[in-house]
């Protein structure tokens, strides 16, 4: 599900779950463990990438529809833990958004240090509302941090998918590059940070991301239960099944 490629001190974690790099419970757990263990394996920066043309399709809805209540609870718990691991990573993480990145595919980069996106006919955005899901407050807070409250309200409430150029204009991504160069650009970004005086960079970075880590406040546990519970609302279930049929898939049997 994950490939690891070391470029000197920069470890690339490549999502590798065909066809769309959709997020399953197992992938979420593996990704968190990869993020948390990297600094102990002498990596000094991380790079999160996908397949050319497909960064990640977000949560694997057809699969998740086969999950029972405790497993959905565990999924959201692990997803929040992954986001918190990204936000509080002691080493920098660049997102190389190599292609389509709807929903969860947008969420992961929100918690990274920088976002470089493939400049092609791709979509990015938090379209959770479009598919019947409430956008979890922690994710909304991270979005607001990047694009400001006005754009966050517009994008989140409307569940709007946008182009890479539009994403650059509102600040949802930081730079564009040809698809074949996105990973190299992200490696270069990491190397530039690593060339700086290490202590000054790290301490300043921790302070600059303190507000992002603070999104995971004392109410996160209660919030998590609400998010997991809303999965089972009739409206959400109906929208998710409609989406799955549109994708031409049956809910996975488990």
List interacting residues with a copy of itself (CB under 8 A).
92, 113-114, 128-135, 137, 140, 145-150, 152-154, 156-159, 171, 174, 192-193, 196-201, 203-205, 207-209, 211-212, 230, 233, 235-236, 239
Q: Which residues partner with 117 through β-bridges?
A: 97, 176
Alpha-carbon span 140 to 8, nearest angstrom: 35
The least CB distance from residue 45 to a copy of itself, in Å, is 12
The least CB distance from residue 46 to a copy of itself, in Å, is 15
Cis peptide before 70 (omega within 30 of 0): no
Nearer to a copy of itself, 51 or 244 (CB): 244
Nearer to a copy of itself, 81 or 201 (CB): 201
The least CB distance from residue 234 to a copy of itself, in Å, is 9
The pair of structure tokens assigned to 73 is 């609870």
The least CB distance from residue 174 to a copy of itself, in Å, is 7
In the chain, what is the greatest distance between 2 CA atoms, to the nearest angstrom? 54
DSSP string, 68-80: -HHHHHHHHHHHH
Nearer to a copy of itself, 41 or 192 (CB): 192
The least CB distance from residue 92 to a copy of itself, in Å, is 8
Nearer to a copy of itself, 3 or 208 (CB): 208
The answer to whether 24 and 17 have CB atoms below 8 angstroms apart is yes
Nearer to a copy of itself, 35 or 212 (CB): 212
What's the first-to-final CA gap in the chain, in angstroms? 18
Helices 69-87 and 220-230: angle between axes, nearest 10 degrees: 140
Alpha-carbon span 211 to 214, nearest angstrom: 5
């Amino acid at each position: 599900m994950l490939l690891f490629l070391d470029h000197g001190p920069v470890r690339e974690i490549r999502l590798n779950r065909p066809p769309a790099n959709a997020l399953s419970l197992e992938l979420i757990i593996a990704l968190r463990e990869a993020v948390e263990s990297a600094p102990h394996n002498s990596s000094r920066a991380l790079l999160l990438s996908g397949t050319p043309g497909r960064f990640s399709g977000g949560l694997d809805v057809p699969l998740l529809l086969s999950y029972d209540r405790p497993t959905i609870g565990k999924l959201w718990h692990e997803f929040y833990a992954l986001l918190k691991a990204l936000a509080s990573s002691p080493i920098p993480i660049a997102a190389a958004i190599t292609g389509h990145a709807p929903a969860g595919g947008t969420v992961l980069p929100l918690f990274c240090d920088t976002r470089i996106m493939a400049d092609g006919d791709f979509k990015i955005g938090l379209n959770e509302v479009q598919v019947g899901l409430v956008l979890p407050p922690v994710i909304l807070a991270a979005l607001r941090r990047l694009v400001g409250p006005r754009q966050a309200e517009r994008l989140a409430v409307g569940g709007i998918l946008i182009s890479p150029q539009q994403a650059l204009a509102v600040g949802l991504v930081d730079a564009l590059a040809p698809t074949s160069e996105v990973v190299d650009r992200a490696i270069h970004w990491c190397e530039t940070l690593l060339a700086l005086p290490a202590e000054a960079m790290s301490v300043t970075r921790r302070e600059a991301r303190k507000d992002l880590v603070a999104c995971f406040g004392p109410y996160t546990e209660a919030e998590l239960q609400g998010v997991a519970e809303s999965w089972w609302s009739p409206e959400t279930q109906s929208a998710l099944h409609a989406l799955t049929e549109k994708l031409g898939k049956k809910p996975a049997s488990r």
